[in-house]
Amino acid sequence: MATARGSRYLLTIGRWRRSFGVAPQFRALAALVPGVSHVDNKSDFLGKRPHRRHPGILQLSCVRLPQALADAAQLLLLEGAMPNMEKQVQVLTNYLWSRHLPVEPEELQRRAVLLEKKILENADSCQTEKHQEEVLRALRRTTYHWQKLSYSEGLSLVYMAARLDGGFAAVSRAFHEIQARLPEFQPQTLMDFGSGTGSVTWAAHSAWGQSLREYMCVDSSAAMLELAEKLLKGGSGSGMPCVPGVFFRQFLPVSPKVQFDVVVAAFSLSELPSKADRTDVVQTLWRKTGRFLVLVENGTKAGHSLLMDARDLVLNGKEKSPLDPRPGFVFAPCPHELPCPQLTASKPLACSFSQAYHPIPFSWNKKPKEEKFSLVILARGSPEEAKRWPRITQPVLKRPRHVHCHLCCPDGRMQHAVITARRHGRDLYRCARVSSWGDLLPVITPSELPPSPES
C-alpha cells in the first residue's frame, strides 16, 4: 500500500494556506508533530477491507438495551408508581453530573490555616473563640459539602430510570474496545464493584455471553442488589434469571487467591468518601484482576482526575499479586504510560468520550441520547501487546481536502494534526476522514519503521 509522495510533517506551524479554510483561532492550537508520520502498513493492515473499516475504528453504533432488560425496567417503574418520576430523575441526574470530589482533610486544614491568618490580620487577638467560629463559618460557606448517597428502595428506582441506559452504553463501549482489539480474548469470570442496577453484567453478557460463566456483583446497598436481581428475573423476584451464573454480595471477596479475568468499577470510585478509601479499593481491585481492570466515570474533570489517580497508582505500585506477578500497562485510552497531557496542560481538560444510545422508552425519554464518560482500561502484561497508535481525543473536524484531528500520541503529547492527501498520502487521509472521536489513527513514527534492506 503506497503512502504516496511526501509523507511529511502532519502540520507545519506558520505555513497554512488560505485554501485550508482554517479559522485564525485554531492556529494557536497547532503543534508540530516530531519527525515524519507514516501509515502503519507494516503488515498490510487494511488487507481487502475499505478505509472506513480500518483497524483503528472503534466506535459503536447507537447502543440499545437488551429487550428483556428494558421490559423489566419499565415493569418495575410501573409497579413502583412513584410520583413526579420525571422530575426526580432530572434532579438526580443533575446532582450526579455536578458532583465534585470530597475535600481531603489535609486540604481542609490548609484552608483553615489561611482563613485564620486572614481573619487575625484585621481582628483583636484576644477573642480566640470568636476567631475560630469565624473560620468555621467561612469554611462551611466556601467548601464543597460532599455527601454519600444512601440508596433506599425508592432512590434505587430513580437511579435505575436515570442511569441504567447511559451506564450500559458507556460500559458497552469499554468492552467493545477490548473485543475489537483482542477478539481472541474470551473471559470466563467477571467482578463488578459497585454493581448498582447490574448494567455491567448485562453489557458483559452481550459482549462475551458465550464464554462468561461467573459474574460477581458487589454493592454495599442491599436495595440495589435486590433491584439488580429483579431486573435479571424480568422484573419479579421469582422468575428465572436472563443471565446465568450471577452472584450478589455486599463485600469484596477477602481471599487473595480469588481472581477474575475482568474486574470493573463503573461510576463507583466517585462514591467513595476519601482518597485513602479509593487507594485501598483500587489496590484491592488490581490484586483481583487476572487480565483487565476497567474503570469508568462521568466525563467530567472530577471523573477524569480520579481515574488518572487510579491509573498512576497501578502503574507505580510495587505490590504484586501472588497469583499473577505481571506488571500493569494502559490498554486504553492512552497510547502510553506517561503523565496525562490533558492534566498537565495550562488549562486542564477532561479526557472524555461519547457513546450514543437509545434510552429506556419512558414517556419523557424517547429520543436517542449521548453518554459522555471517561475510562481507563488497565491490563496485566507488556505494553508491546497493545497497539500504540495515537488516540483521537476530540470530534474530528472534516473540511474540503483536509481533516483536523486532535491526537494523544505515544510520546505522551497532545497534537493538533491537519491531514491532507497531498502531504500525507491517500491512505492516511482517508483513514483520518472516516475516523471518529475515540478511534485510533493507524500511524507510526520513523523510529517504529522496519530497517530498510540496504541498512
Cα 421 to Cα 294: distance, rounded to the nearest angstrom: 37
Among residues 388, 431, 382, 387, the alpha carbon closest in space to that of 411 is found at 388
Neighbours of 168 (CB within 10 A): 29
pLDDT: which is higher, 194 or 105: 194
CATH architecture of 63-97+147-380: 3-Layer(aba) Sandwich (3.40)
Share of the chain above pLDDT 90, in %: 55
The distance between the two most distant Cα atoms of the chain, rounded to a whole number of Å, is 85
Q: What is the residue-averaged pLDDT of the chain?
A: 83
End-to-end CA distance of the chain: 22
Runs of H (alpha helix) within 199-336: 199-208, 222-232, 275-288, 301-316
In angstroms, the CA 272 to CA 279 distance is 10
Question: Quick check: 34 and 445 in contact, CB under 8 A?
Answer: yes
Whether residue 269 is predicted with pLDDT greater than 50 in this model: the reply is yes
> How many angstroms separate the CA atoms of 245 and 191, rounded?
12
Beta strands 414-419; 369-380: pairing state: unpaired
Check whether 55 has a pLDDT greater than 90: no
Which residue has better confidence, 355 or 79?
Answer: 355
pTM score, two decimals?
0.85
How does pLDDT run across 401-423, given as a tens digit for each residue?
Answer: 999 999 999 989 998 989 888 88
Per-residue pLDDT, 27: 30
Reported confidence tier of residue 324, pLDDT bands at 50, 70, 90 = low
Helix, coil or strand: residue 263: strand
Is the pLDDT confidence value at 14 over 60? no
> Domain boundaries in the chain?
51-56+389-440, 63-97+147-380, 103-121+129-142
* For helices 85-97 and 153-181, angle between their N-to-C axes, nearest 10 degrees: 60
Provide, for the chain, the percentages of residues in helix, strand and coil under a 3-state DSSP scheme, each rounded to the nearest 5: 40, 20, 45
* CB-CB contact of 42 with 15 (8 Å): no
320 confidence band (pLDDT: 50, 70, 90):
low
Report how far residue 233's alpha carbon sits from residue 216's, in angstroms, rounded to the nearest whole number. 16
CA distances to 38, 148, 174, 240, 294 from 85, rounded to whole Å, are 54, 22, 30, 28, 31
Pairing label, strands 246-249, 397-399:
unpaired
Of 22-36, 248-262, 280-294, the one with minimum mean pLDDT is 22-36
Judged by average pLDDT, the poorest of 28-37, 39-48, 71-80, 89-98 is: 28-37
